[in-house]
Structure 1
Amino acid sequence: MKKEISICNITAKQGQKAQGFINILDTETKMPITIINGQKEGKTVLITAGVHGCEYPGIRTAIELSQEIDPKEVSGNIIIVHLVNMEGFEQRRAAVMPQDNKNILRVFPGDKNGTISDKIAHVITTELISKADYYFDIHGGDLHEELIPHIYYPAKAKKEVVNKCKEIAKHFNVGYYAPSNNINGTFTSAAVNQDVPSLLIERGGCGLCQEEEVNLYKDDMLNILSLLNMIEYKRCHKDFTPEEIKYAIYLDAVKDGCWTCFVDAGQSVKKGDKLGVISDYFGNIIDTYYAEFDSTILYNTVAYSVPKGSSLVAYGRV
């Protein structure tokens, strides 16, 4: 471990904590971060929140962790980005970065010559992930989403990286962990391109920021830091032993319309069960969606409005 760790214009000396905003290349866009430089040698963990600006439980979790963790009790380094998409947060824009209308989660590893979302991804990749031994991207279910707490791991990374990810996922207090077969994207890009074991965690939804969910989230993250021998912590909650989702289907709207969902997050469904329908603006049903196999609902859209290409429901089988 270095005596000090610097990210852009922020430096934390050994045994100290430093906080501030880092600028995104040549733009006026900023991200609030905390660098915790531990008193002892150890691993470096990166935690990012607010890739989607309205996923509040993850954002509040990151902010509170940055306040509560004492660097003198840490072995290694913890880098916390409280809020990746500040503009989306301030404007209450679900899923996308307002300036370019892109989903930051879909543009990693980024491009320094691209639009603002590409530049944000580039900075996270080159300035933050490059320093990390482990990466956790914490989400919170967006304004239009209801979900059961679950985790995604990067299935296309090297076998040893995948195995590390799956082993860590088992220690979270969530119902399920599922493979992500994307090559790019926030956490998958880190694992596939830089061999950094990475997980994307989902907890919360519907624009709510409930204290109980935040406390469960903090308990999970502190437990994982303890598992990595970075802090001493005795976990407060453990209600679930996660099960692995072997196969999942993610349904998107093929047309604009009005969505009526017939299932809830966490619900078990049978093959052939009706999941929901899309109607046109005169009330005529234009699409109907059915479960292709017995499964559990991971998340569903609760919004009535669904633009073409937007997510509707995801379900998976153990």
Structure 2
Amino acid sequence: MTVEIKIENLSVKKGHKTSGYIPVPQTDLSLPVTIINGEKVGKTVLITSGIHNAEYTGIQTAIELAAELQPDEVNGCLILIHPVNISGFENRTMSAVAEDGKNLNRLFPGNPNGTIGDKIAHFIVTAFFSQTDYFIDLHAGDGFETLTPYVYYVGAASAAVVEQSKAMAEKINVPYMVKSFIATGGAYNYAGSCGIPGILIERGGEARWSKTEIHLYKADVKNVLRSLKVLAGAVDQNAQKPVDVVDVIYEIARVTGCWYPDKKPGELVKKGAMLGVIKDYFGKVLAICEAEHDGVVLYQVSSLCIIEDDTLIAYGKIAV
């Protein structure tokens, strides 16, 4: 750990903490960032929230952790962004960057000469990933999605990075974890391809948050930080250890219409089971969604509206 951590206009000496806005180059946007430079030597962990700006449980968790954690508790450095998609948050755009309508978590590694979303992604990679040893990305179901709590971990990376990422995921108090085989697009996926172990936590959804969810979310993050020796203390043995969900199917809507799901997140399904139907505005069935194999529902759209080519529901096999 260096004596001083510097990211653009924010500079923090060892044993200190600061919060402020960091401008995104070639845009009018500035990101709210907290840097906690611990008193003791350790690793640097980046914690992002609000890459999908209506996923409020992750954002509120990052806000509270940034306020609560102090340098004398930290071995190494914590960098928290809360939230990343600031213009989307302030314009209630769900997953999209307000200025260009793009899904920010599909743009990594970004492009300094692209649209606003491309520039944000590029800035996160160049200014933040370059100083990061481990990465925790806080998500939830979007404003129109409901889910069972679970965690993704990096899978498209070196064996050592995958192993470390899975070890992080195992510290999350959720029933399921999913190994991701994507190397670009998602922030933590791209970070993994750069040699940074990371996870993406899913908890909450439907553009809501509660104190209970935030309590559980903060406990998750702190447990990972303890496992990385960034926070002191014993690692909790969670009530449930996540099991791998494999062969995940992200069912895509073939048409735009009204969506009527038949299952709930966390529910077990059998091959051939009805997952839901899409109807038109007169009640005529346009499409039927059936399970291609046995598994568990991870998340699904909970709004009546469904748009062609959007993900309807995600489910996968529970590894045995």
TM-score by structure 2 length?
Answer: 0.97
Which residue pairs with 1:66 in the alignment?
Answer: 66
Which residue pairs with 2:218 in the alignment?
Answer: 218
Q: Quick one: distance in 2 between partners of 1:233 and 1:209?
A: 28
- TM superposition shift of 1:183: 2.0
Q: Quick one: distance in 2 between partners of 1:118 and 1:233?
A: 39
Q: Quick one: distance in 1 between partners of 2:122 and 2:11?
A: 20
Q: Quick one: distance in 2 between partners of 1:93 and 1:17?
A: 31
Say what the alpha-carbon RMSD is for the aligned residues: 1.2
1:134-187 C-alpha deviation (Å, 9 max, x unpaired): 011110211111101111122211111111111111111011111222221211
Q: How does 1:301-312 map to 2 (within 5 A)?
A: 301-312=301-312
Q: Quick one: distance in 2 between partners of 1:260 and 1:235?
A: 42
1:169-215 C-alpha deviation (Å, 9 max, x unpaired): 111101111122222121100101x1100111100011111111101
Which residue pairs with 1:40 in the alignment?
Answer: 40
- The alignment partner of 1:246 has SS state of strand
Which residue pairs with 2:188 in the alignment?
Answer: 187
Check whether the contact 2:168–2:198 (CA below 8 A) recurs between aligned residues: no
Amino acid corresponding to residue 187 of structure 1 in structure 2:
Y
Q: Quick one: distance in 2 between partners of 1:42 and 1:259?
A: 49
Q: Quick one: distance in 2 between partners of 1:127 and 1:292?
A: 43
Unaligned runs of 5+ in 2: none
Q: Quick one: distance in 2 between partners of 1:246 and 1:207?
A: 27
TM-score by structure 1 length?
Answer: 0.97
- Cα distance change on mapping 1:94 and 1:237 into 2, 3 Å: farther
Identity among equivalent positions (%) equals 42
Unaligned runs of 5+ in 1: none
Q: Quick one: distance in 1 between partners of 2:11 and 2:264?
A: 46
Query: Are residues 1:31 and 2:42 paired?
Result: no
Amino acid corresponding to residue 252 of structure 2 in structure 1:
D
- The alignment partner of 2:114 has SS state of coil
Check whether the contact 2:154–2:166 (CA below 8 A) recurs between aligned residues: no
Q: Quick one: distance in 1 between partners of 2:87 and 2:307?
A: 22
1:60-108 C-alpha deviation (Å, 9 max, x unpaired): 0000000111112211010000100112111221111111010000000
Q: Quick one: distance in 2 between partners of 1:75 and 1:235?
A: 15
Q: Quick one: distance in 2 between partners of 1:210 and 1:233?
A: 27
- TM superposition shift of 1:235: 6.5
Q: Quick one: distance in 1 between partners of 2:136 and 2:295?
A: 27
Q: Quick one: distance in 2 between partners of 1:49 and 1:222?
A: 15
1:274-297 C-alpha deviation (Å, 9 max, x unpaired): 001111222211110001111000
- The alignment partner of 1:293 has SS state of coil
Amino acid corresponding to residue 301 of structure 2 in structure 1:
T
Check whether the contact 1:222–1:233 (CA below 8 A) recurs between aligned residues: no
- The alignment partner of 1:122 has SS state of helix
Q: How does 1:1-318 map to 2 (within 5 A)?
A: 1-184=1-184, 185-192=186-193, 194-233=194-233, 238-318=238-318
Q: Quick one: distance in 2 between partners of 1:102 and 1:222?
A: 31
- TM superposition shift of 1:237: 8.3
Q: Quick one: distance in 2 between partners of 1:81 and 1:293?
A: 39
Q: Quick one: distance in 1 between partners of 2:236 and 2:165?
A: 22
- TM superposition shift of 1:246: 2.1
- TM superposition shift of 1:236: 7.3
Check whether the contact 1:270–1:295 (CA below 8 A) recurs between aligned residues: yes
Q: Quick one: distance in 2 between partners of 1:67 and 1:235?
A: 22
